[in-house]
């Protein structure tokens, strides 16, 4: 009686194990077949992307640009005073997440704006890879050039950021004037009013 009971209960278990084994073999075969029939995966090289942004209102313009490979600057231009400022957010070192670099210059004289005229500024940033030699110490010009344009006169000017990456890594605050690089005029013909 004992043999009959164990034999009759083994039969469904054997069928269940056989079905599960066939299912597993089918899934494994399907996976291997699709692996061999698919084209090989292509590795896409890493593409570094850098972007800067700009925005403005009636009285202020703002733009961002890289200062070096680890930090960027926020450039702001106050239309009412002509004050151009670059604030650099330290992203490393002991003063991380603080504006450790603040640079300023007034653009009214460079832009040759008359005191009675209301300027209509544009603010843009560009990339400049200046040679690293020739300057004393660790100071160098940052990777961004900020361009200021007065849409009324057509006058424009370019400014650089004096940057010391070693001071940034130590968390040392950096201040001073922005560096005037060059200026010019885009509107050569007089405007009739």
107-163 per-position pLDDT tens digit: 998 888 887 788 889 999 998 887 655 444 567 889 999 999 998 889 999 999 999
Sign of the dihedral through C-alpha 91, 94, 99, 104 = negative
Burial 18-28 (b: 16+ CB within 10 A, else e): eeeeeeeeeee
Token pair of 124 as six digits:
């843009």
pLDDT of 125: 93
pLDDT tens digits, 50-59: 567 788 788 9
pLDDT level of residue 183 (50, 70, 90 thresholds): very high
pLDDT of 2: 53
At 91 the three-state DSSP class reads coil
103 neighbors 77 (Cβ within 8 angstroms): no
pLDDT of 140: 81
The domain spans of the chain are 55-131+138-185
89 neighbors 74 (Cβ within 8 angstroms): yes
Q: Which of 7-16, 25-34, 108-117 has the highest mean pLDDT?
A: 108-117
């Amino acid at each position: 009686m004992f043999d009959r009971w164990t034999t009759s209960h083994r039969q469904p278990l054997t069928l269940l194990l056989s079905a599960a084994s066939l299912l597993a073999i089918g899934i494994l075969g399907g996976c291997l077949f699709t692996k061999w029939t698919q084209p090989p995966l292509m590795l896409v090289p890493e593409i570094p992307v850098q972007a800067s942004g700009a925005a403005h209102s009636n009285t202020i313009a703002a733009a961002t640009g890289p200062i070096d490979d680890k930090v960027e600057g926020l450039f702001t231009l106050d239309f009412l005073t002509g004050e151009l400022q670059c604030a650099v957010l330290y992203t490393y070192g002991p003063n991380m997440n603080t504006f450790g670099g603040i640079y300023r210059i007034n653009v009214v004289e460079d832009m040759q704006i008359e005191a009675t005229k209301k300027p209509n500024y544009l603010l843009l940033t560009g990339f400049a890879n200046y040679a690293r030699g020739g300057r004393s110490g660790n100071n160098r010009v940052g990777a961004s050039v900020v361009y200021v344009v007065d849409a009324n006169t057509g006058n424009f000017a370019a400014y650089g950021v004096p940057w010391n990456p070693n001071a940034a890594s130590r968390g040392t605050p950096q201040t001073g004037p922005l560096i005037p690089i060059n200026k010019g005029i885009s509107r050569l013909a007089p405007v009739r009013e």
